[in-house]
Structure 1
Amino acid sequence: MVTISCDFISPKKSTLRTTDLIDTEIDFNDVDVYPLFMDCNNCDSNEKQNLCFEMELIRRLQKLTSKDVLDAGVSLNDTVMVDILVDTQGKISIVEIYKNELVNKEIPELDSLLYKSIASLPAAVQPSLKRGIPVNSMFKLPILITAQDTQ
């Protein structure tokens, strides 16, 4: 008995591996590396890097705004939400500020204080990376507004 085999007759196998298919799918809602202040460069995981960035951002904003005293005519206890953008150059900016009408009426200078504080942040921020390419990233920053009626 003679057995003959020929690769030309067998159906072609795909040279595309499963890992190649996974590499073509991109999740645009997640990044590989979160933006970093240089102080956060030694974190060992993405979650720690993200937490470090957020805490450092809050700490720096608190330091910048702690000197400013805003007067409100009424007692307030509210949260203002701020959409923050870290662009591909590492520049931090405000996209939008969400606040209720009472906060807007009682503290009209809040927006300008927030814009001024964000503009004062150092530009030494590494942007987010997706597959080694700098990408924009957005953060929603809650700011607690507490004011007591001084009358």
Structure 2
Amino acid sequence: MKKTSSQDILNEELKAFNWNDVDEYPSFSSCDSITLKQERKDCFQNSLALHIWEFLKQEQITVTQDITDTIILNFKLSKTGVLTLTDTKMDSAAHQELSGIEDIIVKSLDSLPKIYPAIKRGQHVNSAFSLPIIIKAN
């Protein structure tokens, strides 16, 4: 078992670029024909959000009270195209009602189409980004 020091974790995090620091945003092949940088970013985000939403819609999530909330999903995308959910942010009532939602979201990532990583100075790079998802459950 390899031990990871806090310095190793920090160094790894420093390698992740923010959305605003890349020359080309991550992409799905369905977004490849888009040439404008902002529109390509929007296509990627909308495609990812739609995929997660469609997956959540198929799951049987039972709640005891109506929930309408925006969940902020924080992701890390490796330079090899591996997407990882690193954190979720939602209010405490939603978190209590939707306690297993993180696991469902992680499961939805398994069926994503191939992701092309972000590019900086001609090289694939790690990137980190947030994606808001609106949840309505009743």
* TM-score, scaled to structure 2: 0.80
**Corresponding residue of 2:69:** 78
Q: 1:75 to 1:63 in 2, by over 3 A?
A: closer
**Corresponding residue of 2:55:** 64
* CA displacement at 1:54 relative to structure 2: 0.8
Q: In the alignment, is the contact (CA less than 8 A) between 1:92 and 1:121 conserved in 2? A: no
Q: In the alignment, is the contact (CA less than 8 A) between 1:85 and 1:93 conserved in 2? A: yes
Over aligned residue pairs, what C-alpha RMSD do you find?
1.7
**Corresponding residue of 1:136:** 126
* CA displacement at 1:63 relative to structure 2: 2.4
**Corresponding residue of 2:137:** 147
* CA displacement at 1:120 relative to structure 2: 2.7
Report matched runs for 1:121-132 at 5 Å.
Answer: 121-122=112-113, 124-132=114-122
* CA displacement at 1:62 relative to structure 2: 2.1
In structure 1, runs of 5+ residues without a counterpart are: 1-26
Equivalenced residues, count: 121
Amino acid at match of 1:146: K
What is the identity percentage for the equivalent residue pairs of Structure 1 and Structure 2? 27
State the distance in 1 between where 2:78 and 2:89 align: 20
Q: Which has the larger radius of gyration?
A: 1
* CA displacement at 1:118 relative to structure 2: 1.9
* CA displacement at 1:104 relative to structure 2: 1.8
Q: In the alignment, is the contact (CA less than 8 A) between 1:79 and 1:143 conserved in 2? A: yes
Any idea what the Cα deviations from partners look like across 1:58-85, whole Å, max 9, x if unmatched?
1222222221121110121111111011
Equivalent residue for 1:34, pick from 25, 28, 47: 25
* CA displacement at 1:86 relative to structure 2: 1.4
* TM-score, scaled to structure 1: 0.73
Point out which structure has higher relative CO (alpha carbons under 8 A, 6+ apart): 2
**Corresponding residue of 1:93:** 84
Q: 1:68 to 1:57 in 2, by over 3 A?
A: same
State the distance in 2 between where 1:130 and 1:42 align: 19
**Corresponding residue of 1:43:** 34
**Corresponding residue of 2:103:** 112
Q: In the alignment, is the contact (CA less than 8 A) between 2:49 and 2:133 conserved in 1? A: no
Instruction: Judging by fraction of residues, say which structure has more helix.
Output: 2
In structure 2, runs of 5+ residues without a counterpart are: 1-16
